[in-house]
Every structure is written in structure tokens, then in C-alpha cells.
């Protein structure tokens, strides 16, 4: 279900964060439009009282919805950029936010594949908090719905959407509308969750607050799209004196707190920062920071750790072991892949996971990286062949060579600057395949 007539919109690009002071009092006759609405995709009919809806639209006393919508001004200067750890091709590594209890992995393939939208994610007790940001360029020309990518929060796919509306429920005044989609592509009726959603229009000036509105809803099959048709009057949005627009761009953000999820299981989440008497018995020191882990569990995966913990090495009797030549954030990600959370491999973490998997001889991690590289298109073939050589990934090498279906495909590999790092044996295999193409021609 969606909030318009089926337009897919375009993915907006992410950028810096902005804000403004709140507008109090909507235009006369627009109070009803100030309330969050869910719209029906079938025929584009709005399920509202004006259009004869049957109760699926917002109502003050509806179960699972909040009749009191909060507007508030919040100061918030733009945060700084994250720190780059490693580059391969054009990608950068960005450490994940880690919570304090079990947490859905926020880097699964459907979560933030779009480099132009941003998400963060944190688990607190029985609640999962996540945020999605969406930058809208050329906002003055906005004429259809634009959306972020889907992001996993509490193991549910969420998407931020925005559009304009000028209709009966906005008293024929043009407004900027903001919505959140939760699991909209599912046809199952067995799932639900309660969530508090706060929309923020971010200011570009540190001395001006963000414009903020929020609601509470019980999302399910019949209520998977909610928002504000009249989030802000269009003329106010475009007024540069209000502080929300710069270079014809705006940034919106949805802060989502999810609780009481039914029908979806969250992957287990492990905290390595606190000692757990039943599940941790050794401390690893990296850059002066402590990670509490299980010797037995790591030894099952890694011959290196098995020897370190149980053979006649000096580390055997130690309660704390120093690990050199590893980066703290990367090793935490490495642990999250090994532990039962089994965080997935992505284009951002695959390079250092290969390094750590090889360093500690964790075959499971190397296998997961190889599976990912066999199927991803985010990393070029030459880089894959270099890594296949370096870590003896025969299945990956085979997949890469078989994907070359003409001598022109092989010829196109040579200009890549990493070509020189491919082994002689792999180059010989490529030459042999190129000769076969010549004979067939």
C-alpha cells in the first residue's frame, strides 16, 4: 500500500543535514490534513472520512494510533562526517552503530543498498531505534513521490517517502507531505509492530532548530503506510529565510522506535563490551579497548584461536590477550559475522573480513566472503580475481572466468590498475580462454 497513485518515484541522494523553526497553526481548514494518514494504493483512493473510508484512516481514538501529534522545535547542527578506514575501488568503510541488546542486522542487502540514503540503527532493551535520511535535490521541481531505499529496523523493511499534495483535505493548498512505509510489499497478515515515528525537516543553519512532528501507530498489513499529508506548506518549505532549503535541496529524517514486533524474529545480537559470566571467559585487548568473548566458541571456528587458548603458548594462562595489527571496529564486525548473529558480508566489509578470516584462519568467514563476491556486481572482476589469487578462492576465480563470454570482455580487464596484481597463473588462464574465443571466431 502506498500514499499515491502508484508512482515509484526516484531515490534521492543523501548529503549534509539541515533545519528551521516550527510553523505553528496550519492554514484554516487543514487541521484534518495535519493528522497522519494511510492511503490505499488500489485506485489511489484515500481511506479518509471525507472519501467514505471504513476506518483505516487516522482517527483520534483508533487502537494503535496516537490522537496527540507532537510538534516541536529541536536544535541540531549538522554532525561531522564519519572516518574512512579503508578504500577499495570507490567504496569506503563506515563502522556500524552497535546497541545494547539483540538487534536486527542493519547491513543486510535490502538495508541501505542505495548510497544516496542514510540509516543508523540501535537496540535498547525491547525497543529498536533506527533512523532514515532522505535528501531531495531540485525540490522545487518535485512532482511525484520520491523515496529512500528500504532499511531493516527490527528486521522489518522501512522506507521514507515524500511528495506534494494539493487536495480537498489540504483545502486546495499545496503542502509538502511525508510518509513512512513499513513492510509494504508483504501480503502476509501475520505481522505487526508498534512504532513511534518522528519526522524531521532538517535545517541548514546551526542557529535554527529542526521542524519536527511525530505519531504512534500499530503497523500491520492493513496499516503499513502512515504520515502527514500537510507536513509543511509548500511556500514555507521553499522560502530560503525559513532555513530548510539550500541550493534547491532539502533533507528529511525519520526517527523510528519499534517495539512489540509480531511475526518477525530478530537476529541475536551480542555485546562484546560487557563481561557476561555465563558466555565470556577471555578478554581481547585492541587499541586499549576490551572485548569480552568465549574462548570455546572462537576456538571452534579458528585454529589460530584454538592454539592461542589451549596450546602451550604464553597466552594460555592469561585472562587478557593483546591483539596487534587489527583495527578495533573491523574486529568487532568480524566477531559479529562469526557469532550466531552471523552478520552478512557486504561490499563495505568484505575486504577486511577476507584479511581477518585469513589471518585467524576462519574458514566460515572466507566462505561467506566468497559466496558474496560470486554474486555481487558492486565489485569489479579484476578486484575479485586479485582477491581470489590472494586468498585461494577457487570458486570465485571460476565464476569470474566463466562470466567472460568474449575476448572483448577479457581485453576490457587490462586497463584496470589492479591488473598488475593478478597472478601469472590467472593471467595464463585468461589468455587460454581468449585463444579459445579466437579459434571459435
Do 436 and 356 lie in one domain? The reply is no
Which CATH number does the domain housing residue 118 bear? 2.60.210.10
Do 240 and 119 lie in one domain? The reply is yes
Tell me which residue range forms the domain holding 191: 31-262
Do 354 and 408 lie in one domain? The reply is no
User: 10-residue block means of pLDDT along the chain (441 residues)?
Assistant: 40 34 38 44 30 32 34 38 37 27 28 40 68 94 93 91 94 96 95 96 89 96 95 94 93 94 79 83 92 93 93 77 93 93 90 97 97 94 96 96 91 91 94 79 55
Q: Are 149 and 155 in contact (CB under 8 A)?
A: no
Do 412 and 290 lie in one domain? The reply is no
Q: How far apart are CA 348 and CA 258, in angstroms?
A: 26
φ, ψ dihedrals at 293, nearest 5°: -135, 175
pLDDT at 196: 96
Q: Are 107 and 4 in contact (CB under 8 A)?
A: no
pTM for this model (two decimals): 0.51
Q: Counting Cβ atoms within 10 Å, is residue 223 exposed (0-12), middle (13-18) or buried (19+)?
A: buried
Name the grid cell of 127: 525497543
Do 320 and 232 lie in one domain? The reply is no
Do 348 and 384 lie in one domain? The reply is no
Tell me which of 262, 287, 308 is where a domain ends.
262
Comparing C-alpha atoms, which of 267, 305, 281, 326 is closest to residue 85? 326
Do 114 and 251 lie in one domain? The reply is yes
Q: Is 74 left (phi over 0), alpha (psi -120 to 50) or beta?
A: beta
Q: How far apart are CA 32 and CA 137, in angstroms?
A: 29
Residues in the chain: 441
Number of alpha helices (DSSP H) and beta strands (DSSP E) in the chain = 11, 16
In a domain, 279, yes or no: yes
Do 304 and 333 lie in one domain? The reply is yes
Comparing C-alpha atoms, which of 39, 33, 36 is closest to residue 58? 36
Name the grid cell of 86: 579503508
Residue 322's DSSP bridge partners are 285
pLDDT at 98: 24
Which CATH number does the domain housing residue 348 bear? 3.30.710.10
Q: Are 165 and 229 in contact (CB under 8 A)?
A: yes
Amino acid at each position: 500500500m502506498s500514499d499515491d497513485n502508484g508512482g515509484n518515484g526516484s531515490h534521492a541522494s543523501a548529503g549534509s543535514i539541515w533545519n528551521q523553526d516550527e510553523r505553528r497553526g496550519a492554514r484554516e481548514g487543514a487541521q484534518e490534513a495535519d493528522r497522519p494518514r494511510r492511503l490505499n494504493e488500489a485506485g489511489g483512493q484515500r481511506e479518509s472520512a471525507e472519501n467514505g473510508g471504513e476506518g483505516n484512516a487516522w482517527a483520534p481514538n483508533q487502537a494503535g494510533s496516537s490522537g496527540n501529534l507532537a510538534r516541536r522545535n529541536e536544535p541540531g547542527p549538522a554532525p561531522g562526517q564519519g572516518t574512512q578506514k579503508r578504500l577499495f575501488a570507490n567504496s569506503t568503510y563506515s563502522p556500524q552503530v552497535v546497541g545494547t541488546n539483540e538487534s536486527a542486522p542493519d547491513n543486510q542487502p535490502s538495508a541501505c543498498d542505495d548510497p544516496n540514503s542514510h540509516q543508523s540503527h540501535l537496540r535498547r532493551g525491547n525497543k529498536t531505534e533506527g533512523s532514515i535520511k532522505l535528501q531531495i535535490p531540485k525540490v522545487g521541481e518535485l512532482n511525484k513521490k520520491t523515496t529512500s531505499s528500504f532499511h531493516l529496523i527490527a528486521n522489518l523493511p522501512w522506507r521514507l517517502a515524500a511528495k506534494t499534495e494539493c487536495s480537498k483535505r489540504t483545502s486546495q493548498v499545496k503542502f509538502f507531505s511525508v510518509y513512512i512505509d513499513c513492510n509494504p510489499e508483504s501480503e502476509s497478515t501475520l505481522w505487526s509492530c508498534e512504532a513511534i515515528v518522528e519526522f524531521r525537516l532538517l535545517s541548514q543553519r546551526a542557529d535554527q532548530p529542526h521542524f519536527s512532528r511525530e505519531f504512534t501507530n500499530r503497523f500491520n498489513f492493513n496499516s503499513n503506510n502512515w504520515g502527514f499529508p500537510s507536513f509543511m506548506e509548500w511556500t514555507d518549505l521553499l522560502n530560503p529565510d525559513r532555513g530548510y532549503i539550500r541550493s534547491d535541496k532539502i533533507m528529511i529524517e525519520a526517527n523510528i522506535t519499534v517495539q512489540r514486533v509480531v511475526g518477525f524474529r530478530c537476529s541475536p545480537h551480542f555485546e562484546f563490551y560487557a563481561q557476561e559470566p555465563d558466555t565470556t571467559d577471555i578478554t581481547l585487548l585492541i587499541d586499549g579497548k576490551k572485548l569480552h568473548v568465549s574462548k570455546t566458541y572462537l576456538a571452534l571456528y579458528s585454529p589460530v584461536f584454538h592454539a592461542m587458548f589451549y596450546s602451550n603458548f604464553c597466552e594460555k594462562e592469561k585472562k587478557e590477550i593483546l591483539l596487534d595489527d587489527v583495527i578495533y571496529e573491523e574486529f568487532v564486525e568480524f566477531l559479529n559475522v562469526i557469532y550466531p548473529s552471523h552478520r552478512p558480508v557486504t561490499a563495505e566489509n568484505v575486504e577486511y573480513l577476507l584479511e581477518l578470516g585469513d589471518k585467524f584462519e576462519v574458514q566460515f568467514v572466507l566462505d561467506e566472503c566468497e559466496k558474496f563476491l560470486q554474486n555481487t556486481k558492486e565489485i569489479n572482476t579484476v578486484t575479485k580475481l586479485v582477491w581470489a589469487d590472494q586468498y585461494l578462492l577457487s570458486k570465485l576465480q571460476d565464476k569470474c572466468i566463466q562470466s567472460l563470454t568474449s575476448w572483448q570482455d577479457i581485453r576490457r580487464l587490462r586497463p584496470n590498475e589492479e591488473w598488475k596484481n593478478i597472478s601469472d597463473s590467472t593471467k595464463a588462464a585468461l589468455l587460454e580462454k581468449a585463444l579459445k574465443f579466437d579459434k571459435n571466431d
